[in-house]
Homo-oligomer: A and B are copies of this chain.
């Protein structure tokens, strides 16, 4: 397979691998998203955690972490931060776990974060037609289901 010419001159042998293309698109889009989330003092992962809690009230941090592939050791301080900022509250389930619930303040924050995600997506993928966006989503889902990825 022929490699592509990029930068006006260099050949890019990595273009031939879909996995590497996805890696670069992901890195580039995230580098655009990160500073917008940083304006709200959030990382992409922390934003994902809050949005998951908002959509799934009463779940434990272990359940949230499993879905987002975040280790227990790493999600603990995130939950602590959300609790400190009064965006999330804990309700005891049993002696060792508790359900997570969004607060009124957390609800407002999650809506601001969702707006950022939506605006960013529109800019990043706005050149695609609606049917192309639908197809891209489908192909990404099919990939994920096949490989049992993230």
Contact pattern, A 31-68, Cβ under 8 Å of B = 1, otherwise 0: 11100000000001000100110111001000110110
Q: Is the CB of A149 closer than 8 A to any CB of chain B?
A: yes
Q: CB-nearest residue of chain B relative to A45?
A: B23
Contact size range, A: 35 or more
Query: Do A150 and B27 have beta carbons less than 8 Å apart?
Result: yes
- Residues in chain B near residue A18, CB distance under 8 A: 121, 124-125, 133, 136-137, 140
* Chain A residues within CB distance 8 Å of chain B: 3, 6-7, 10-14, 17-33, 44, 48, 51-52, 54-56, 59, 63-64, 66-67, 69, 114, 117-118, 120-121, 123-128, 132-133, 135-137, 139-147, 149-150
